[in-house]
Chain A
Amino acid sequence: MDELDETQLKNHVDSLKQQLQFNREKTSVAIPELTKWIEEKINEDPFLNPDVLKDNPWVESSKCVII
């Protein structure tokens, strides 16, 4: 903070006042909602559901034939 001039310092203090006003949610509410979102998406996640990766664009889906 030592590098700030007077105007910058004032803006900093005003910003901190605003940030203090933030309406914080309790972690007992926020965390379950976070985990719920992730768990719902896990089925679509190719790294966690191998079925999604069945059509892997980087793996040859058919064998090569020598003609």
Chain B
Amino acid sequence: MSPPLLGVEEGGGNTSTVATSPSIDGASHDCLGLKERNYLGLSDCSSVDSSAVSSLSDENKSNLNLKATELTLGLPGSQSPEREPKLCLLSSGKLDEKPLFPLLPLKDGICSSSLQKNIASGNKRGFSDTIDEFSELKSSKYPDGNWMFHATGPAPETAQCGGQGKFPGNAGMKAMLPSRTSGAQATVPKEALPKPAPECPRALNGAGVSQTRASNNAPAAKAQVVGWPPIRSYRKNTLATTSKDNDEVDGKPGPGALYVKVSMDGAPYLRKVDLRNYSTYQELSSSLEKMFSGFTIGQCGSNGTPGREMLNESKLRDFLHGSEYVLTYEDKDGDWMLVGDVPWEMFIDSCKRLKIMKGADAIGLAPRALEKSKARN
């Protein structure tokens, strides 16, 4: 069965509750006690309030709030828009001892004021960045989906966290989205952000829950809840082919869904993406970046994306030193290949799974990158 997809982009799905994982512990609490956890235990660039990083190793702290050190996911030949033209270094190998997917629910609501838009690039956002999207009540044209496990209608002040240890799973809708303090409303992030997971902020205003409205989500990362809506795979795949082209808003390419697993070295679990949701490496890269925020992908040459200078000396150096991450895929023959070498259509045709490898592990693939970059230069 497919692992849940992080960063679910269900339009307008609101979550106002979050299940707290009982394994989250020991972290310091900010004003509301909500702690953000970065996948690698870096609660830095993605956002978090400094008070919440005490659980991080000291080594990681040096990376806090340093945009330049942020890791982003970049496929060969692609670069997230607005991204700094530098790669961040992942503090070598040192992961937080309690690496929790940022998508795990947090215990309490996070202080909205403590959230900063500490993002390296416009596309790379830690889950707490979505808080910023949550400003006031947004009226939008779409009603909100609202996951509230203790939905009590208009009742305010429902403390819903207690021990909802199982909710992170919520079929993969796991973008952790700490909601605001009472008075605010957890609204869905506006842009292509991971869908907030159901949250259970301690002080969450239940009214917020019941009144959330969906903002207009641009689901660039069209990750979805596993098995929802409940439609048989056969029908899902066939529907894509029967919907008329002129109805397609995004011009989604090709028929059928093409879910492939995405694994990341060191990640406790995998994600799945539908390759049909993207038409370029760029889009895939952005999406994976959001999904695995904080990670980097080696930027290797690609013949798919024109005009951007991907590799420079420092990146290569970093890459070679093995502190980078590289996006690779397993093709139909079972070989592990570097993403970005072939035209997009060919890629999705042969890609069976994706893997974000540590640069050191991908050393065998590096020469190709070097060659390409040399060719470019």
> A and B from one assembly?
no
Interface residues of A (CB under 8 A from B): none
Interface residues of B (CB under 8 A from A): none
